[in-house]
Copies of this chain bind each other. A is one copy, B any other.
Amino acid sequence: MAGHPPPRRRDAERNRQAILTAARTLLARSGDVPMYEIGRSAGVGQATLYRHFRAREDLVLAIFSEQLAELETVAQARRGDPDAFLDLLRTIVEMQARYHGLVDCLRWTTGAGLRQRLERAMSEPLATAASDGRLRADASIDDLHLITGMVDGALRSEHDPTARARIATRVVALALNGLTRS
Contact = CB atoms under 8 A, between A and B. Distances in A.
11 contacts: A135-B180, A136-B177, A136-B178, A136-B180, A149-B155, A149-B156, A150-B154, A151-B153, A153-B155, A174-B175, A176-B178
Contacts of A182: 136, 177-178, 182
Interface stretch (A9-17, A31-39, A45-53, A139-147): A139-147
Contact of A179 (B136, B151, B152, B180): B136
Contacts of A44: none
Given A174-B143, A178-B182, A181-B136, A151 B150 contact: yes
A133 interface: yes
Interface residues of A, number: 32
A178 B177 contact: yes
Nearest to A170: B146
A180 B134 contact: yes
